[in-house]
């Protein structure tokens, strides 16, 4: 069989849960610089998006199950046709939420392969960033703790983390404050725009090929996840990929067959 992906055709005969791989690929908005957010191959036709917050206890439960049980189980078999995409979902009533998400983007900028490992650490240590744990410290002090955590658990240079997280004074001596953020602010803004346009609010939220499924529970075990994935792939509507020529370029148009 062949697979159409990003304007080109690729051979792909790997089996999936339900048999041979299909002839299309669902692609979700994920910039190359954020490839660390993906578990799996970008050509895997089934996409599970996980909208999670680092200081949400239920997000932590769901993340741990997917990261330590579900994905390894799938990867160790021929059922490797699913990609999991982490979506940073800030819950603004927890001030430290933004800071933890910024730290995860900073470590990805340093080494993409560490994003999920650092996320795992953040979830395991999330109580250290709950409201009461950060209420008595400044923003820069929280950044320093996050940078130190990255060094201790992932071997990342603490100084490089702080270079990305610290808000610099670009006012050139002006008495007025500036509001440009840090070196991960722009990336975080784009991620929140994506979440908002998809009306994501609750954490955790899970989508399958772009469609929210509120039946997913953070209390699920690996067997419940596996059953859900099999059912989704069995009942899912196929996407048809069409090559569209436009001014000499080739694009892929994905149309859902209802």
What confidence category does residue 13 fall into, taking pLDDT thresholds of 50, 70 and 90?
A: very low
Distances (CA, A) of 75 to 72, 84, 207, 229, 251: 5, 12, 20, 14, 30
Residue 175 lies in a domain: no
> What confidence score (pLDDT) does residue 81 get?
87
Predicted confidence (pLDDT) per residue in 113-150, tens digit: 999 999 999 999 999 999 999 999 999 999 999 999 99
Query: Which pLDDT belongs to residue 25?
Result: 46
> In the structure, what pLDDT confidence band is assigned to residue 171 with cuts at 50, 70 and 90?
low
Q: How many whole angstroms separate alpha carbon 24 and alpha carbon 16?
A: 13
**Is residue 13 situated within a structural domain?**
yes
- Tell me the residue range of the domain where 237 lies: 2-169+180-256
pLDDT score recorded for residue 24: 45
Domain at 137, CATH number = 3.40.30.10
| Percent residues over pLDDT 70 in the chain | 76
Residue 108 lies in a domain: yes
| Structural domains counted in the chain | 1
Residue 164 forms part of a structural domain: yes
List the one residue out of 257, 214, 217, 219 whose CA is nearest residue 238: 257
The answer to whether 101 touches 54, Cβ cutoff 8 Å, is yes
- What is the tens place of the pLDDT at every residue in 189-221? 999 999 999 999 999 999 999 999 999 999 999
Residue 104 maps to a domain: yes
Q: Determine how β-strand 211-212 pairs with β-strand 205-208.
A: antiparallel
Is 50 domain-assigned? yes
Tokens representing residue 54 in the block: 């680092």
197: in domain? yes
What's the predicted TM-score (pTM) here?
0.81
Rounded Cα gap, residues 221 and 225, in angstroms: 6
Asked if residue 174 is part of any domain, the answer here is: no
């Amino acid at each position: 069989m062949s697979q159409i992906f990003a304007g080109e055709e690729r051979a792909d005969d790997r089996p999936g849960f339900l048999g041979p791989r299909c002839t299309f690929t669902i692609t979700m908005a994920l910039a190359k610089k954020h490839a660390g957010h993906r578990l799996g191959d970008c050509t895997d036709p089934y996409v599970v998006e996980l909208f999670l917050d680092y200081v949400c206890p239920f997000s932590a439960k769901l993340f741990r199950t997917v990261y330590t049980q579900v994905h390894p189980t799938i990867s160790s078999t021929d059922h490797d046709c699913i990609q999991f995409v982490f979506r940073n979902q800030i819950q603004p009533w927890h001030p430290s939420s933004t800071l933890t998400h910024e730290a995860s983007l900073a470590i990805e900028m340093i080494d993409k392969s560490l994003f999920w490992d650092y996320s795992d650490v953040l979830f395991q240590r999330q109580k250290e960033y709950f409201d009461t744990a950060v209420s008595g410290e400044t923003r820069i002090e929280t950044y320093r703790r996050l940078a130190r955590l990255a060094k201790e658990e992932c071997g990342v240079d603490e100084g490089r983390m702080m270079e990305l997280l610290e808000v610099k004074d670009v006012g050139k001596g002006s008495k007025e404050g500036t509001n440009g953020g840090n070196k991960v602010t722009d990336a975080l803004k784009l991620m929140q725009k994506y979440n908002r346009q998809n009306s994501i609010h609750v954490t955790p939220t899970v989508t399958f090929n772009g469609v929210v499924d509120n039946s997913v529970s953070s209390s699920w075990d690996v067997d419940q996840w596996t059953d859900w994935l099999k059912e989704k792939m069995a009942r899912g509507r196929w996407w048809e990929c069409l090559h569209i020529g436009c001014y000499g370029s080739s694009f892929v148009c994905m149309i859902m067959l209802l």
